[in-house]
Amino acid sequence: MTALAATSGPVLSPARRQDRPGWALLLTLSGNMILDAIEVSVVLIALPTIGHGLGLSLMGVQWLMAGFALGFAALLPVGPMIAARWGRRRIYLVAMAVFAAASVVGGLTDSVALLIASRVVKGACAAVTAPAGLAIITTTFTDPGQQRRAISVYSLCGAAGFTAGLLLSGALLTADWHWTFLFPAPLSVALLVFGLAVLPADSPGSGGPIASAGQARPSGAAGSRRALSLLRDGSLRRATLGAASLNGTYISLLLLIVFQLDRWSPWRTALALLPACLPLAVTAPFAGRMIARFPTTRLIAAGALTSLLGYLLYLSRPDHSAYLTAILPTLVLVEIGFVLSFTALNAQATAAIPVPDRGRAVPLYQTGVQLGAATMLPLVALLLGLGHGQRPALALICTIGGLGLLAALTGLREPGARRPAGDPGDPGDPGDPGDVEGAVDTPSRTTSSTHPTSPRR
């Protein structure tokens, strides 16, 4: 093939030859982001069917969702350190192999314990592959224009994956619910094979800027105290609380609606939930422009308010099962809130954090996002199982949404933007040393890179 190309094909410039493996790498890593996002939504639609098949209550079956978020949250704080120690390529490939194995185990068992354990393991694997994937992208695409396009593609794939998972679930459940757990296995193996071919080799500096900086940083208990001390920053703390509220209430509302529509076919339920995810996938490429034009604090407050209005609307409806008058307007309002505030929250989280500390701050923020889902899902399931209808669970969702709005409103009182000390450049540049590892958010519904552009406060 090489000899033939050298004699009969056009001669490619070195830059063109380097572009091809770079974009092949991007497609491989983006495929993994799609898979991670699909993992959430495909199981969401399947929960009623799985519950009927295994004789599980709502409280029992929701752990298939909460377990993934718990696994993700558990490994996020140490994921960058693992990648820095063992190398991005190695840890990425190992995580993909474990992800495939966990998919096989989950797809072939009827044991509830094994199913939940497989979900926890897969969430932990996603906590490794998502930030490592972004780190590889930012070090492969060094040209600022190419890097922005690559990260946009990467983020868009994560956003689109949630939507694809809803539709895929409707198709898989026509056969058997086991396929919702088993289908990722061959896809993971394929991505693993492609990864072996296109991922750059690890080198002594493969941990990237964070690894280099980490050598001079405190470790162990001292490092943990240093990371937790970052929560004294008001912007990071508010962004973490706001994102935890946004993600937790959103995924809990979808859980409630899925079981509200239990008598619908999986296909019909999947189509009914599209207004809750499709707009974010469509607007993801323009999110950077939005936070560059409008202050992030205002976008976050507007998004929190819009989502809360959606929850209150649903709570006020006498018939929660009426799709056109109750469910649909609620989903639209909540999704508008997500579109307004999700990327702004990501940008605000580390806008005031000095560059050397961002590698520690971002995992704290992302852990809060995942804990929002892991906490809200069992609480909502518990309230739904008490036999008092949906109002207690909806009241909890509204309360947490209100707390998220309160946190957002306190940010409006802050003075203008503060540029981190020692950061003369763009505070939102994804290529900043502290932003590489852990800079991808994979909440329970989508994926987005942190800081697609410079945020306005």
Buried b (16+ CB within 10 A) or exposed e, 22-32: bbebbebbbbb
Task: Provide the 3-class DSSP secondary structure of residue 440.
Answer: strand
Residues 6+ apart with CB under 8 A from 132: 79, 83, 88, 91, 92, 95, 437
Torsion sign over Cα 379, 380, 383, 385: negative
d(C-alpha 298, C-alpha 329), whole Å: 23
d(C-alpha 431, C-alpha 451), whole Å: 10
d(C-alpha 173, C-alpha 264), whole Å: 13
pTM of the predicted protein model: 0.82
Domain ranges of the chain: 21-210+232-415+430-449
Cα–Cα separations (whole angstroms), residue 221 to 228, 347, 371: 11, 28, 22
Residues 6+ apart with CB under 8 A from 352: 233, 234, 235, 236, 418, 420, 427
Superfamily of domain 21-210+232-415+430-449: MFS general substrate transporter like domains (1.20.1250.20)
Beta-strand pair 448-449/440-441: antiparallel
Per-residue pLDDT 10s for the chain (457 aa) are: 433 333 333 333 334 434 445 888 888 988 988 998 899 899 999 999 999 999 999 999 999 999 999 999 999 888 777 877 888 889 999 999 999 999 999 999 999 999 999 999 999 999 988 878 777 887 788 777 777 777 778 777 877 888 899 999 989 999 899 999 999 999 999 999 999 999 888 765 544 444 443 444 445 455 555 666 777 777 888 999 999 999 999 999 999 999 999 889 999 999 999 999 888 888 877 877 888 888 989 999 999 999 999 999 999 987 788 899 999 999 999 999 999 998 888 888 877 778 777 767 778 888 899 999 999 999 999 999 998 889 999 999 999 999 999 999 998 876 544 433 333 333 334 334 334 444 445 444 544 444 333 444 5
Backbone angles phi, psi at 441, to 5 degrees: -95, 125
d(C-alpha 257, C-alpha 384), whole Å: 11
Q: What is the predicted pLDDT for the residue at 421?
A: 38
Check residue 96 and give left, alpha or beta (phi > 0: left; psi -120 to 50: alpha). Answer: alpha
| Residues 410-436 pLDDT 10s | 988 765 444 333 333 333 343 343 344
Q: How far is CA 362 from the centre of its chain?
A: 13
| Residues 112-126 pLDDT 10s | 999 999 999 999 999
